[in-house]
């Protein structure tokens, strides 16, 4: 008798055949073993979640507007939240937008999926960083994009290489559908795209008729230096869309993010969202709006920055203290965000080393997970937001011991 697994290959779509699991989600299972210090995940610190404020806010929202908060809502999002975001984007980023530019979505991750759905046909070229955010790789590969990798250095994505690629494709009569960037304290490498490169990227979009997708979940978590302008607001022609999220500055559980895009594309994004989920959680939006309306976000961001800055400092100090010197080991010193990135000598393979690290009770994410072509085997990502300062110190010590043996 056949089982469903026998007939599935003949039934599944081609799109489903290219889906791949997130290495990080798989790794996180291993790192839950007792005693393992995980520097692998990317979770905000739960102690920062505003539980006390939310208890009161949830009760207020239910009393005041429970029927509406638990009802379906507009696909575009709660109009009050949209209006609040228009003001926020104008004040914080100098964005010249109105409510027609905003779509509330279930985290920036859904925005990535919607962008993929609206722009990518199978084999369409799109440009991503080497490395780049794994969730974006997954989203775009799910639509069978032809990912074209561009190296990321300490100034962010190598824009000369972007130009070369755009030129080559234009010569062949093909269009690169979009360039995906994480310009501020990139996940995973922690680097920030320089102002000069931001401007050039936009010019390249104008020259080669393509668009930039700017994904900036960490932008408000800056621990030093001055913010650079977002690419979106620098662009007056609608060629840059930006993705934002409350996951890192409020909490990821409510799954709330937003897209800022020119109204010319909004209609398509809204139509793509309707079959995905009809609307983003009305309840979560109503709660968030009340939180924002009480003026609680800015002080919360300030508190988060103070907290994460200390943790980042603890990790940088531990690296200085324990890592072998003059051994070809290098790491980034990001001005914000949740991650550091390490480069080891070429012969060290962080994929192969991972089981040994778990044996030593410490975990990281191997750099190859962020390279869609599986390169970057001598790199790794370290998270400092979730572990305690003591765990950071001990975790880095264990890693340094491991590297010393390998060198
Ligand atoms: C670069 C980047 N984009 C998008 C996301 C997804 O965020 P959200 O929780 O808003 O879906 C993340 C999450 O870590 C991220 O690092």
Confidence of residue 41 (pLDDT cuts 50, 70, 90): confident
The rounded Å distance from CA 249 to ligand 1 centre is 12
| Per-residue model confidence (pLDDT) at position 241 | 96
Range with lowest mean pLDDT among 46-55, 98-107, 124-133, 322-331 = 322-331
Say whether pLDDT at 108 is over 90: yes
pLDDT confidence of residue 104: 98
Q: Which helix (H) or strand (E) holds 278?
A: none
Q: Is the CB of 215 under 6 A from ligand 1?
A: yes
Whether the pLDDT of residue 21 is over 90: the answer is no
- The pLDDT of 288-301, averaged and rounded, is 98
- 109 C-alpha to ligand 1 centroid (Å): 6
Among 23, 40, 49, 108, name the best residue to mutate to test ligand 1's pocket (greatest count of ligand atoms within 8 A of Cβ): 108
pLDDT at residue number 27: 72
Distance (Å) from CA 187 to ligand 1 centroid: 9
Q: Tell me, what's the pLDDT at 136? A: 97
Banded model confidence at residue 30, pLDDT cuts 50, 70, 90 = confident
What is the model's pLDDT at position 339? 97
Asked whether residue 351 carries a pLDDT value surpassing 90, the answer given is yes
Select from 111, 135, 251, 365 the residue to mutate for testing ligand 1; criterion: most ligand atoms less than 8 Å from CB.
135
Residue 318 CA to residue 402 CA, distance in Å, equals 15
Burial of 222 (0-12, 13-18, 19+ CB in 10 A): buried
CB-neighbour burial class of residue 79 (10 A; exposed 0-12, middle 13-18, buried 19+): middle
Question: Is residue 29 very low, low, confident or very high in pLDDT (cuts 50, 70, 90)?
Answer: confident
**pLDDT score of 358:** 92
User: What pTM was computed for the model?
Assistant: 0.96
Rounded Cα–Cα distance for residues 146 and 120 (Å): 9
Residue 26: what pLDDT? 72
For residue 141, give Cα distances in angstroms to 65, 151, 212, 276, 336.
Answer: 41, 19, 18, 18, 28
CA of 375 relative to ligand 1 center, distance in Å: 22
Instruction: Name, in order, each residue with C-beta under 8 angstroms of 130's C-beta and a sequence gap of 6 or more.
Output: 149, 150, 151, 152, 371, 372, 373, 375, 376
Say what percent of the chain tops pLDDT 90.
Answer: 91
User: Which of 38-42, 206-210, 342-346 has the least mean pLDDT?
Assistant: 38-42
Mean pLDDT of the chain: 95
The CA 182 to ligand 1 mean position distance, Å, reads: 10
Q: Average pLDDT in the 100-125 region?
A: 97
Mean pLDDT of 73-87: 98
Ligand 1 atom at minimal distance to the Cα of residue 108: 10
pLDDT score recorded for residue 282: 98
In this prediction, residue 33 has a pLDDT band, given cuts at 50, 70 and 90, of confident
Average pLDDT over residues 131-139: 96
- The predicted-structure confidence for 238-265, as pLDDT tens digits, reads as follows 999 999 999 999 999 999 999 999 999 9
End-to-end CA distance of the chain: 55
What mean pLDDT comes out for the span 316-325? 96
DSSP E strands, 98-197: 102-105, 125-130, 146-153, 156-157, 178-181
Q: Are 109 and 133 in contact (CB under 8 A)?
A: no
The string of pLDDT tens digits covering residues 162-183 is 999 999 999 999 999 999 999 9
Per-residue pLDDT of 354-392, as tens digits, reads: 999 999 999 999 999 999 999 999 999 999 999 999 999
Question: Quick one: pLDDT at residue 17?
Answer: 81
| pLDDT tens digits along 179-203 | 999 999 999 999 999 999 999 999 9
- Assess whether pLDDT exceeds 80 at residue 31: no
Task: Output the pLDDT for position 57.
Answer: 98
Is the CB of 109 within 6 Å of ligand 1?
yes
Taking alpha carbons only, the member of 248, 253, 243, 249 closest to residue 283 is: 253
Whether 42 and 187 have beta carbons less than 8 Å apart is answered as yes
Query: Residue 22 pLDDT more than 80?
Result: no
pLDDT of residue 232 exceeding 80: yes
């Amino acid at each position: 008798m056949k089982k469903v697994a026998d007939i599935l290959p003949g039934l599944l779509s081609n799109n489903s055949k290219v889906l791949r699991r997130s290495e990080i989600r798989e790794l996180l299972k291993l790192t839950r073993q007792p005693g393992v210090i995980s520097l692998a995940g990317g979770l905000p610190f739960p102690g920062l979640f505003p539980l006390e404020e939310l208890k009161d806010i949830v009760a207020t929202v239910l009393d005041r507007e429970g029927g509406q908060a638990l009802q379906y809502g507009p696909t575009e999002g709660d109009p009050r939240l949209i209006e609040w975001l228009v003001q926020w984007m104008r004040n914080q980023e100098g964005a010249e937008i109105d409510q027609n530019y905003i779509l509330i979505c279930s985290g920036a991750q859904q925005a990535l999926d919607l962008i993929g759905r609206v722009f990518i046909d199978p084999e369409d070229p799109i440009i991503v960083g080497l490395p780049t955010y794994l969730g974006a790789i997954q989203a775009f590969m799910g639509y069978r994009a032809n990912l074209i990798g561009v190296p990321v250095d300490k100034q962010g994505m190598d824009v000369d290489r972007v130009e070369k690629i755009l030129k080559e494709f234009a010569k062949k009569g093909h269009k690169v559908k979009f360039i995906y960037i994480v310009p501020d304290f990139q996940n995973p490498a922690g680097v920030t795209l320089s102002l000069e490169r931001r401007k050039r990227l936009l010019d390249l979009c104008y020259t080669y008729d393509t668009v930039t997708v700017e994904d900036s979940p960490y932008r408000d978590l800056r621990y030093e230096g001055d913010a650079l302008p977002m690419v979106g607001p620098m662009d007056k022609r609608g060629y840059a869309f930006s993705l934002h999220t409350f996951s890192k500055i409020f909490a990821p559980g409510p799954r709330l993010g937003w897209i800022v895009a020119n109204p010319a594309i909004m209609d398509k994004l809204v139509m793509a969202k309707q079959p995905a989920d009809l609307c983003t959680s009305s309840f979560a939006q109503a709660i968030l709006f009340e939180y924002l309306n009480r003026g609680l976000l800015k002080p919360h961001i300030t508190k988060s920055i103070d907290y994460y800055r200390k943790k980042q400092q603890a990790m940088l100090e531990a690296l200085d203290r324990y890592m072998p010197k003059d051994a070809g080991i290098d790491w980034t010193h990001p001005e914000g965000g949740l991650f550091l990135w390490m480069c080891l000598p070429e012969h060290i393979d962080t994929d192969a080393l991972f089981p040994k690290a778990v044996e030593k009770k410490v975990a990281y994410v191997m750099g190859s997970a962020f390279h869609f072509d599986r390169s970057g085997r001598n790199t790794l990502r370290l998270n400092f937001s979730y572990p305690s300062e003591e765990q950071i110190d001990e975790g880095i010590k264990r890693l340094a011991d491991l590297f010393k043996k390998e060198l």
